[in-house]
Amino acid sequence: MKATKLVVGLMSGTSLDGIDAALVEISGAGSETNVEVKHFISNPFPSEVRDVLLGVASGQLVSAGIISQLSVLLGRLYSQAVFQVCQEVRLPVHQLDLIGCHGQTIFHQPDPNPLCGHQITSTLQIGEAAVLAEETGVTTIADFRPSDMAVGGNGAPLIPFVDFVLFRDARLGRVLLNLGGIANITLMPPSCHITEVQAFDSGPGNIVTDALIRHFSQGNQQFDAEGHLARSGRTLSTVLDSLLSDPYFHRHPPKSAGREQFGDAFVKKLLTLAASATIEDLVCTATELTARTVAAAVLQSANSCIQLDQLVVSGGGVHNKHLMQRLKKLLPHVALVPINELGVHSDAKEALGFAILANETFELGTGNLPSVTGARHPVILGKVSYGKNYGKLRRRFQGRESRT
Amino acid sequence: MKATKLVVGLMSGTSLDGIDAALVEISGAGSETNVEVKHFISNPFPSEVRDVLLGVASGQLVSAGIISQLSVLLGRLYSQAVFQVCQEVRLPVHQLDLIGCHGQTIFHQPDPNPLCGHQITSTLQIGEAAVLAEETGVTTIADFRPSDMAVGGNGAPLIPFVDFVLFRDARLGRVLLNLGGIANITLMPPSCHITEVQAFDSGPGNIVTDALIRHFSQGNQQFDAEGHLARSGRTLSTVLDSLLSDPYFHRHPPKSAGREQFGDAFVKKLLTLAASATIEDLVCTATELTARTVAAAVLQSANSCIQLDQLVVSGGGVHNKHLMQRLKKLLPHVALVPINELGVHSDAKEALGFAILANETFELGTGNLPSVTGARHPVILGKVSYGKNYGKLRRRFQGRESRT
């Protein structure tokens, strides 16, 4: 009777880069969860699949059949990633206990919209879990977000539970900052209870600088590698002030942002405000916008959270040295720690997260944080597709159920 | 510790009539399943919802958002049906143990079709189970068909498992005949093993006569009530012979039919073959086509099945007295028994079926019949959304798991 489980977490994000798979050893559950990442891979989508996904996810009109077929195709690609992450460390797939699969979001609408006279919020992740469960033989938990929406939540973010499990500290107050396209923040006072976790999006992460660089390089460059451009420019302070007046930054959390707030329209506004500016100054200003809004959000929340010691940074923005320096300057009393130094590879974090969430569901624990998603109460997330390992798995962990 | 479960089965068929809900008391599992239907309701869809569903299900191009929103809306309507079927017998919903929900099929393609260079078979049922599990508090099992497709099956039919559970007899050989639009047949020799069950579609049930009647009444009449029209006509034997030469009737089972085989194109062919015929003769001939193809299928299969004593009839066609008489005549050695006489209301059968399939999944039994669906092996069907009753439910039935 081993007390640990081998779990593969699968993530494919809205950026449509591809599929991340993390092989994780997990023991315990809830705040007593212990994890060790054994291996991690990242597979880009075949370009044909990416193109179809991009169309469907951006609201293109398609038949139900395309979505149905695409879901099975994704299930197969996820399954391949599971085999690969296991093979690379010579682990037979049948030794896995669980798979946690986020799926591919092709629709997410947390604000009520009318349909046939009803007000509906909904979210749709595809990637057929039955295909994963059958091809791997491993019980697969997927479709985590609709459960939170069913209790009135936004269905996002779900990673703060993972942040709590991995990074809550007995003595240190921690801010988790993920600098993806959008900057996500999770705040945890020392030895906090799960209900004290706060999380929200402070605003842009790299989305604005990336868009500027693609614009000026005619698509030849994708991002400001290491922040060189930002460093060689200067902040256009009147432009920055104007951007900072955006109402998003003045709304109280919980709040979440996406392309609707900081996508093409926002960049166009910036380009209009600074029509004759150099690319360096524009990128420097956009980087400063990220740094200032992150810092303001952290400081404002910190006031209510008593004590914050570490800013644990993950996501692509970690490599932007200029941004890191600005954050250090703006948050002098908080130590800036790359997440890798705490034993979690930055790129693996979300895939790891869905391994942890799958474990939690199997253990009948709740995975959403109502303080973060706005849900009426915590719920067990996801749907379980039994693999042929399920009977054995359940007997192995049966004794532990009585506590639930 | 009670050994029985209270389960609601939910069915909404491709005819888009609405939602059937059966409240069922179930004990045991597999071939030892015992059921008692406590109540049954049938709710038509609101016409607005039906229209949207009809568009989506018939391949209309829509955004992923429409499918996502529609799935949540259906989840709410299913949930209402659960509350109603319980309220009408004054059962508090929290006393339910399980819900089994078929969902609404909006795509079903068991033949491989290409997508991004892959050959894909898939099926898509919507109706968000997380909404059902949350609104009722009851653990909900849904999405049964993709599991069978993931093991190479057609994802259909799934009801033969239910026929086996309900109607297999120690001494009698039984044919289950469901006369819906299409005629489905399940054959079970006396005290047969589950692997001996045969099931397939013999061809048209009422689909051709219904279409003729709608055509001649300009849509004012929907079907041949009690078979009066058929009785007052005569069979056009050359037309019948020509229809009987359709290759579908000469293919060996397993086979399944739908609008592709016996829809508008088939009716048009019939109208061309008998351009000057009266409606009575046409309906009589189409009814004869159903009777002959059912009888031939039963007799042909009976040869290999040794002994068939009863023909247990369900579906709308039961009310067609002329058709019933013709079947009696063509199958003189088989007693024709309306399913109601065996204690199951004809209209409740499929909803009851998904209560039984949900119970089977909960008990970790397999619900597909490879001999029927073409699957490589039996699998546990469906996906489980834990309701707030799950912890208690599992503890109640924990002891029984060791047998799996």
| pLDDT at residue A402, rounded to an integer | 43
Residue A306: its pLDDT value, please?
65
What was the pLDDT predicted at B1? Answer: 43
Instruction: Compute the average pLDDT of residues A333-362.
Output: 94
Distance of CA A177 to the CA centre of its chain: 11
Give the model's pLDDT for residue A258.
82
Alpha-carbon gap, residue B387 to A383, rounded angstroms? 11
Q: Is A59's CB within 8 Å of B65's CB?
A: yes
Average pLDDT estimate for A56-85: 96
Size of interface A-B (CB pairs under 8 A): 189
Which of the pair, B310 or A58, is modelled with greater confidence? B310
Q: How confident is the model at residue A305 (pLDDT cuts 50, 70, 90)?
A: low
pLDDT class of A121 with cuts at 50, 70, 90: very high
3-state secondary structure of B179: strand
Q: Do B107 and A68 touch (CB under 8 A)?
A: yes
B contact residues 96-115, partner A, Cβ 8 Å cutoff: 106-107, 109, 113, 115
Q: Which of A106, A380, A385 sits opposite B383 (nearest CB)?
A: A385
- The answer to whether the Cβ–Cβ distance between A71 and B122 falls below 8 Å is yes
Tell me whether the omega of the peptide bond preceding residue B44 falls within 30 degrees of 0, making it cis: no
374-403 of B, contacting A, C-beta below 8 A: 379-380, 382-386, 390-391, 394-395, 398, 401-402
User: CA-CA distance, B209 to B191, in Å (whole number)?
Assistant: 36
Percent of residues, chain A, with pLDDT higher than 90 = 80
- Per-residue pLDDT tens digits for B330-368: 999 899 999 999 999 988 999 999 999 999 999 999 999
Smallest Cβ distance to B64: which of A107, A116, A402? A107
| Average pLDDT rounded to a whole number, residues A41-70 | 94
| Inter-chain residue contact A133 with B150, CB threshold 8 Å | yes
> Average pLDDT for residues A169-194, to the nearest whole number?
93
Put simply, the answer to whether B63 touches A64 (Cβ < 8 Å) is no
- List of long-range contacts for B25-29, beta carbons under 8 Å, 24+ apart: B26/B355, B26/B356, B26/B359, B27/B3, B29/B359, B29/B360, B29/B363, B29/B365
How many angstroms separate the CA atoms of B118 and A58, rounded? 23
Residue pair B186/B198 in contact by the 8 Å Cβ criterion: yes
Please name the member of A133, A380, A401 whose beta carbon is closest to the beta carbon of B395.
Answer: A401
pLDDT number for residue B404: 41
Reported as a single tens digit per residue, the pLDDT across A224-239 is 878 889 999 999 999 9
Full set of structural domains in chain B with CATH:
4-143+382-403 (3.30.420.40), 161-346 (3.30.420.40)
Average pLDDT across chain A, whole number: 93
Give the angle B130-B136-B138 at the CA atoms, nearest 5°: 75
Mutual orientation of helices A207-216 and A279-305 as an angle, nearest 10°? 180
pLDDT of res. B399: 53
Instruction: Pick B113's closest partner by Cβ from A69, A134, A382.
Output: A69
Amino acid at B151: V
| Regions of chain B where pLDDT drops below 70 | 1-2, 304-306, 399-404
| B214 against A140, higher pLDDT | A140
pLDDT of residue A163: 96
Residue type present at position B358: A
**Which chain A residue has the Cα nearest residue B119?**
A73
Q: Does A68 touch chain B (CB under 8 A)?
A: yes
- Nearest residue to A195 (alpha-carbon basis) of A379, A357, A372, A32: A372
pLDDT for A245: 96
Contacts of B128 in chain A (CB under 8 A): 122, 146, 150
- Kindly identify which residue of chain A lies nearest to residue B375, measuring between CA atoms: A134
Structure confidence at residue A401 (pLDDT): 47
As a three-state string, the secondary structure of chain A is CCCEEEEEEEECCCCCCEEEEEEEEEECCHHHCEEEEEEEEEEECCHHHHHHHHHHHCCCCECHHHHHHHHHHHHHHHHHHHHHHHHCCCCCHHHCCEEEECCEEEEEEEEEEEECCEEEEEEEEECCHHHHHHHHCCCEEECCHHHHHHCCCCCCCCHHHHHHHHHCCCCCCEEEEEECCEEEEEEECCCCCHHHCEEEEEEECCHHHHHHHHHHCCCCCCCCHHHHHHHHCCCCHHHHHHHHCCHHHHCCCCCCCCHHHHCHHHHHHHHHHCCCCCHHHHHHHHHHHHHHHHHHHHHHHHHHHCCCCEEEEECHHHHCHHHHHHHHHHCCCCEEEEHHHHCCCHHHHHHHHHHHHHHHHHCCCCCCCHHHHCCCCCCCCCEEECCCCHHHHHHHCHHHHHHC
Q: How confident is the model at residue A223 (pLDDT cuts 50, 70, 90)?
A: confident
Query: Could you tell me what percent of chain A has a pLDDT over 70?
Result: 97
